[in-house]
Chain A
Amino acid sequence: MTIAIASPDAIVIRNVVKRFKKNTIRREYTTLKSEIVRWLRGKRDADGKSMIEALRGVDLVVPRGKTVGVIGRNGSGKSTLLKLITGIYSPTSGTIDIHGRISALLDLGAGFHPDFSGRENILINGIILGMSRTEIRDRMDEIIAFSELGEFIDEPVRTYSSGMYMRLAFSVATHVDPDILIIDEILAVGDEHFGKKSLAKMTEFKRAGKTIVIVTHDLGTLERWCDLGAWIDAGRIREFGPPAEVIRSYRRAVALAEQQGMVMDAPALAPGGGALPSLVPPARPALSLGLDSVLLTRRDGTAVESVDTEDGLELRVAFTAREAVADLGFGVELKRADGTVAYRTNTFVEGVPLNVEAAGSGTVRLLIDRLGLTAGAYSFSVTVCGKEGRKLETSESTCSFQVRSGVADEGVTRPPHRWVVEGAGARVSPVRTVGA
């Protein structure tokens, strides 16, 4: 790997192929004994047969200062790619050039020793992550403050709760001050409060012009966080570009694969490569109307990612019509993260007449006075339909958001309600009213 700061690209990956010997994946160790037995029996495996191709020729250029999200189904080669970038693995063929100091958060707490105090582990973990001793000493207080461990910092790590352990590990990892940060699905650390702090730290990294490569399964993270999305499928980069577009193609391909009843095996082992079905570009004539964006805002128009149950919301759908369209219908589906449909409606069933009289762009707004959902992760997806339900465009540009709640109630919705107790001299004071 060469290190040169002048290059405009932080990471340049050219035609990288990574093969693993099959027995290492199956985790069968060779022993001297087994090797001798094999030799005595005269069996020599053909080399090519026992190889697994995890990456089959990856080209990727990550520009300096950009945040790139890598998505793809399990086993498609995401983690292998990260390990190659980090330098843990070396490519079977192809080249990887890294320009800048790299720090990887593939696993938190590498080298933590349970019998040592948090403070001692910060030192050793920091050195493992590439800091010098003086750097760590300078940042020690900052790291401890960020971890919010307080007096626990001088207790042995084995006495920590798993949340405390993760917080400590995350604090060290984010204080390395790299030029390039590699992250493998670990933003969800600790409780709500710490989660926010970590996100803020990540934002700080972005603002400081660091290059970030992040592997995630949370498409919401990709959309909100990343400047670029890379979809890796069966060991190749399938699509690289604006996150929204990459997510759309990815979702379509997964949906298509499910429709076709494709067996979701590990792609590296599947015959024929195991790639998701290729998307036939929608064979529709030029669309008469297309969706431009779907945006979730507060009632005052500011964008939101997280709202309270009792808050109101506004869903803004921007569209562009290329010609006059009669009997237009917009459909909205509100889904919880687990797939439960919380609410579904459209302008047809609600009897809202919509006609676009000339080419041009416009906005449809769905105003919600009070959300009334229980806490959790939700997403809106929007569809637009023409006459007789013929779909003009199904926009999968979903809008993910979080619902917060001050009450630990359960279910999907919270109807406006209050409690009243009567008789037997019972009295509830003060009468608590929720959502009224």
Chain B
Amino acid sequence: MIRNLRELYQYRGLLLSLTQRELKARYRNSVLGFLWTFLNPTLQMVVYSLLFTVYMRQKIESYTYFVFVGLLPWIWFSTSLLAGASSISDRRDLLTKVRFPAQVLPATIIATNLINYLLSLPLMVLLGVFQGRYPTWHIVAFPVVLLTQLCVTMALVYLVSALNVTFRDLQQIIGNLLTMWFFVTPVFYMANTIPPEFHTLLVLGNPMAVMTTSYQAIFYEHRLPDPGPLALWMAISLVLLWVATNIFERRREEFAEFV
């Protein structure tokens, strides 16, 4: 794992350039440019707001803001995982033609989506301000949550990107899994509405539930996130990352032959 990360640092120039290019490619040739990134969660949020404040009344104050707080990191996670799955298997041109550090490819996807997330944060804060929810000093905990999510995402993306080289149907499976995962993650409802008998399983067993509740704690409830679940998943994600990078490293030499 250390070697993998060190190499990633060593190739930071490449990572940086590829990420830059991904971002530029996304915003070039479109009038709205960056707004497109924001439009997507906004539309989703409008749908959920309509659904849960008009049709099925949820008693959550500033509901649109609440949804946004959880939805943005979820989009970072889900798009990374979905695009990351094919990040190795789609880059035949690079892997078979030049000596190329393969781990840069999934990392680029994660970095690009992370930057998208960070760029949409000011807009989220602005929305909160409109609804009377000013950011408080609790945002000091934000980097910790962000880092934990980064570790979880990296571990999973490394794992699926390596496996997808051999098992090409994995990316389809992941697409479906993510839809299910989204609904068991408390993004558009509050975690305390989950029946207590499933609470432990659904909240502690789901890293993204831990992340969203932590983000909601910081930005919505204005308190520090529960350190227990966060520490638990930090530890799990480190172990997972270690396993994932090992698997990735072991399979890496085969990438050029299999893609």
Contacts and interface: CB of A to CB of B under 8 A. Distances in A.
Given A35-B167, A88-B98, A133 B256 contact: no
B14 A127 contact: yes
Interface residues of A, number: 33
B13 interface: yes
Given A88-B256, A89-B257, A127-B13, A110 B25 contact: no
Most chain A CB atoms below 10 A, which of B14, B24, B100, B257? B257
Most chain B CB atoms below 10 A, which of A20, A104, A111? A111
B93 interface: yes
A116 B256 contact: no
B96 interface: yes
A110 B93 contact: yes
A286 interface: no
Interface stretch (A25-33, A191-199, A333-341, A407-415): A25-33
A359 B168 CA distance: 72
A110 B166 CA distance: 23
Contact of A110 (B18, B98, B167): B98
Nearest to B173: A32
B98 A115 contact: no
A133 B21 contact: no
Contacts, number: 78
Contacts of A24: 257-258
A97 to B, nearest CB: 15
A14 interface: no
Interface residues of B, number: 27
B94 A31 contact: no
Interface in A25-83: 29-33, 35, 83
B17 interface: yes
B25 A111 contact: no
B169 A83 contact: no
Given A32-B173, A124-B21, A127-B14, A110 B94 contact: yes
Nearest to A112: B93
B121 interface: no
Contacts of A128: 14, 94, 98, 100
A161 B97 CA distance: 22
B170 A32 contact: yes
A370 B100 CA distance: 53
B75 interface: no
A110 B32 CA distance: 30
Contacts of A35: 167
Contacts of A87: 99
Contacts of A130: 99
A31 B168 CA distance: 5
Contacts of A90: 253
B28 interface: yes
Interface in B167-183: 167-170, 173
Given A29-B168, A32-B170, A124-B18, A129 B98 contact: yes
Nearest to B18: A124
A113 interface: yes
Given A33-B169, A111-B93, A123 B17 contact: yes
A172 to B, nearest CB: 12
Interface string A202-218: 00000000000000000
A132 interface: yes
Nearest to B104: A128
Contacts of B167: 29-32, 35
A120 interface: yes
B13 A132 contact: yes
A104 B253 contact: no
B192 interface: no
A90 B167 CA distance: 21
Most chain A CB atoms below 10 A, which of B24, B94, B167? B167
Nearest to A129: B98
Closest 3 pairs between A and B when the two form their complex, measured CB to CB = A107-B97, A31-B169, A29-B168
10 contacts: A20-B257, A32-B169, A88-B100, A90-B253, A110-B100, A113-B25, A120-B24, A127-B14, A128-B94, A132-B13
